[in-house]
Amino acid sequence: MLKTDKFCYCGMVTVIFYENKRDTFYAERREVFSTQPHLHHHIEVLYIAEGEMKATVNDTVYHAAAGDVLFVFPNQIHSFEDLTPIRGHILITSPDDYPELVNTFKSNLPATPLLHPDSNEICSLFSHLSNHMEAELPYCRAILRGYALALLSLLLPMLELHPQNTLNLSLAQQVLLYCDEHYTEPLSLEHLSRQFGVSRFYISHVFSDKIRINFNNYLHMLRIHAAKQMLLHESRAITEIAYLVGYNNIRSFNRRFCAATGYSPTEYRHRKHHRELYK
């Protein structure tokens, strides 16, 4: 599978996109944070510059406002809901990129993901990350890692950390992680039932109870999100993108994409500078 480290700039949002999902690195300015419940192997850190949002992390709801930071550890089920017009930054990065800190992320969970740092330095580091994502500079990935390491190292001492058994993930976490890694394959409730040794009805209940969305819709959400990133930041043909994210029928892909975004894939690619595309 192709891996690229091409830096891309698309208006308000800038992304380095890797098909190897464990190497994904985002440092973006955003005006929309709302997202469905999901989880992944990455660290996700949000800084709210203006506005208010509701964050749900592992079934606990938090209210974040201007100046707050949300620090989501790997494998935590989380979702965000914008409550007012909002503006801020987001960093998504793999803990494996930081050998100095990786054991902290793998062995602990924060008592709360919500921080009130009141620090110009932290705000400045988020800005530096977003600014450097916008330019193709020599050694840019090393510079980004340096800023991210500094940011994480400043924030971690502010968290109250508790040991966790990383091998003892809930069934919901295991299922969602599996979907996150295998959504390009022909997944089904029957496949997940065999994979985890429980009934398909129990798997279905996991989705309806834990993330309030049925399995098929969740699978399409993962695929459409990946397709949106490719459409915005790669030059692949739309048919190729459809197959890469798990669709074997271009008409089905087009129908699902339009239902999810309000645009056809071609329109989405052409209107990529419109801020509605980042919802």
Q: By CB neighbour count within 10 A (0-12 exposed, 13-18 middle, 19+ buried), where does 249 fall? A: exposed
Taking alpha carbons only, the member of 81, 58, 80, 46 closest to residue 173 is 58
d(CA 215, CA 208): 8
- Decide whether 7-163 matches 171-278 in CATH topology: no
pLDDT-derived band at 52, boundaries 50, 70, 90: very high
How far apart (Å, rounded) are the C-alpha atoms in residues 211 and 17? 26
Task: Give the percent of the chain with pLDDT over 70.
Answer: 87
pLDDT at residue 96 in the model: 87
Q: Whole-number mean pLDDT of the chain?
A: 84
Show me where the domains of the chain are located.
7-163, 171-278
pLDDT at 16 over 50: no
Whole-number pLDDT of residue 11: 29
Look up the CATH architecture of domain 7-163.
Sandwich (2.60)
Indicate whether this model's pTM tops 0.75: no
Segment 243-252, tens digit of pLDDT:
999 999 999 9
Report pLDDT for 271: 73
The per-residue DSSP string of 259-276 comes to HHHSS-HHHHHHTTTSGG
Predicted pLDDT at 21: 54
pLDDT in tens, 216-235: 998 998 899 889 878 877 88
Could you please state the CATH topology (level 3) that the domain comprising 171-278 is classified under.
Arc Repressor Mutant, subunit A (1.10.10)
* pLDDT for position 136: 65
Task: Give the whole-angstrom CA distance, residue 50 versus residue 174.
Answer: 35
Token readout for 126 is 């988020």
Q: Which range, of 82-96, 105-119, 126-140, averages the lowest pLDDT?
A: 126-140
